[in-house]
Amino acid sequence: MTCDRLVCANCAGPVTEARCAVCRASRERLQHQRGLFAGLTPAALLALLVALVAVGLLAHQTA
């Protein structure tokens, strides 16, 4: 999850602007929770999946 579209319940501003302490804490928490694939777009994830399926099919044909 990214904080691009999140709105703070405390100050009603975008979390990315970090106007208040609640925004800053939420933004920091979200940045620490980022996983391995968090920075990838859905299109990039789909391309990765297609590539993995292609490699699997090639491996199956050569075996």
Q: Please indicate, yes or no, whether residues 7 and 26 belong to a single structural domain of this protein.
A: yes
pLDDT classification of 2: cutoffs 50, 70, 90: low
Residue 38 has pLDDT above 80, yes or no: no
CA distance 53 to 55: 5
Contact call for residues 27 and 15 (beta carbons, < 8 A): yes
Phi/psi for 61 (5° steps) reads -70, -35
Least confidently predicted of 35-39, 43-47, 48-52:
35-39
Average pLDDT over residues 38-54: 89
Q: Which residue range(s) make up the domain with 49?
A: 37-63
Q: Is 33 helix (H, G, I), strand (E, B) or coil?
A: coil
pTM of the model: 0.46
Q: Are residues 27 and 51 in the same domain?
A: no
Q: Which residue has the higher pLDDT, 22 or 30?
A: 22
**28 and 1 co-located in one domain:** yes
Domain count, the chain: 2
> How many Cα atoms occupy the beta-carbon half-sphere of 53 within 13 Å?
6
pLDDT reported for residue 3: 62
- Whether 6 and 23 map to the same domain: the answer is yes
